Chains A and B, each alone.
Chain A
């Protein structure tokens, strides 16, 4: 068994430590509440551990520094929040198209605009999925505890390397500024990106589930890296319909066909459920506590989603088959709700429960009350 060390960390510190454990060796970013402690931790720790830390002039520069660093063989990460995440979308789109491994951590706060900078929200889910233009997909993960902040960051970094893709980790202010005990394994898996063998193309793969290898700059590869449509060898093909279709479908399938491997969740007491609760992030903790508060009064099932994109539908579909109703609590006006409604497909009523503003958590007591109302 892998021995573990007990630490007392905040969500933000656990993300930074998870990244370091997974082998991250480059950070570029611009400080923004409530993500700044990740940057502060990296500024202190990365140089000590042989990595590079850069404060960029803004978030656009930061994301493009990550792109350059990744092609120079670094494992890069940045952390930001809503306004900065919006600015990074252009670079994230280029990273999808150029198949550049990197990790963006978005610690969600109340928006839109500058909103309430230090207050929690979960309003960036759809932006994390769809914030780039064009047909595109990237994995989105969401921790529900400080332990998850460590473990899912490791998984996110390894996923970026394994599938040669940008990845988004969606945290939120509540989790970022919550301190809990973390069991840190002394041995953490590190995935290294695959290198080309025998003239393999850098932008084509015969197996749609396996990404192409990524050359290392400076090792003799004549390489063109472009955000425009390109053939397997990197040459721009900006009018050819077949090349575009093949490339964009391959980029999509590389993630979509691996969705079962990417899907992380916890399902508690789905069998015999009267009311199901589907939640993610800090709200998932309140859902588990609400279930305990209700004791045997109502049979409550809780599904905690830790992968938010792509979704594997089975756990929510199983809940819809069994429960009389599903409740979806969110610190937004209802974004995950759309997924659950779509997957439940009329098998049971799906009810949203929104709370926004002031950074107030959805408290277990109010969620328990809502569960009783939904049960009827």
Chain B
């Protein structure tokens, strides 16, 4: 498999970094070559956050890439930065709260209600399980095995709600 370049984008407080680590750790533990890099603003909460993963069968020469094959955007504030770094033949996965941008015809766009379906109406929640739900959706699209990410999500303090979010995304 050629190197897959995936960018998860949202705002601070949504768990973008957590989800990036969840996926990267899961694949690394299975022996895949993975590099993860995340970037956030000094404000930490409420401003754009990106987690970038390079996934390959070969050792990864450089973890830093300008064009992603897949961009997942879970908040409108992160859309512009995410779009500028998407391959012209890439896949754009949007949360349904994000205004649909004009993109080249060669870009495939998928829109799903990750935030609305995973927050369950909790007040003040910016959609902190939405990135986990998006991982479930990416697994359904075949980018990585659902079992890999499910195993990783099944431990830790928030295991139950993370597993539920994964299943929501996988069911889309």
Q: List chain A positions with a Cβ less than 8 A from chain B.
A: 8, 33, 116-119, 174, 177-181, 282, 285-286, 288-289, 292, 359, 361-366
Contact = CB atoms under 8 A, between A and B. Distances in A.
Nearest to A118: B42
Contacts of A285: 61-64
B61 A116 contact: no
Contacts of A365: 66
Contacts of B37: 174, 177-179
Contacts of B24: 8, 179
Contacts of B62: 285-286, 288-289, 364
Interface string B20-42: 01001100110001111111111
B65 interface: yes
A73 B125 CA distance: 50
Interface of B: 21, 24-25, 28-29, 33-42, 44, 60-66
A363 B62 CA distance: 9
28 contacts: A8-B25, A8-B28, A33-B42, A118-B40, A118-B41, A118-B44, A174-B37, A174-B64, A177-B38, A178-B37, A179-B21, A179-B24, A179-B37, A180-B34, A180-B35, A180-B60, A181-B33, A282-B64, A285-B62, A285-B63, A286-B62, A288-B61, A288-B62, A289-B62, A292-B61, A363-B65, A364-B64, A365-B66
Nearest to B26: A8
Contacts of B63: 178, 180, 285
A131 B169 CA distance: 52
Contacts of A178: 35-37, 63
A366 B66 CA distance: 9
Nearest to A177: B38
A288 to B, nearest CB: 5
A237 B63 CA distance: 53
Nearest to B53: A179
Contacts of A177: 37-39
A178 B41 CA distance: 16
Contacts of A361: 64
Nearest to B64: A361
A8 B29 contact: yes
Contacts of B35: 178-180
A178 B60 CA distance: 12
A330 to B, nearest CB: 15
Contacts of A117: 42
B101 to A, nearest CB: 21
Nearest first, the 4 closest Cβ-Cβ pairs linking A and B are: A289-B62, A361-B64, A8-B28, A179-B36
B34 A8 contact: yes
Contacts of A282: 64
A156 B155 CA distance: 36
A113 to B, nearest CB: 13
Nearest to B33: A181
A172 to B, nearest CB: 12
Contact of B42 (A8, A116, A181, A292): A116
Nearest to A109: B42
Contacts of B36: 178-180
B24 to A, nearest CB: 6
Given A8-B28, A117-B42, 6 more contacts: A33-B42, A180-B35, A181-B28, A181-B33, A365-B66, A366-B66
Nearest to B41: A118
A181 B34 contact: yes
Contacts of A359: 39
Contacts of A364: 62, 64-65
B40 to A, nearest CB: 6
A178 B54 CA distance: 11
A174 B62 CA distance: 12
B19 to A, nearest CB: 13
A111 to B, nearest CB: 13
Contacts of B44: 118
B38 to A, nearest CB: 5
Given A179-B35, A180-B35, A285-B61, A363 B21 contact: no
Contacts of B25: 8
A341 B34 CA distance: 37
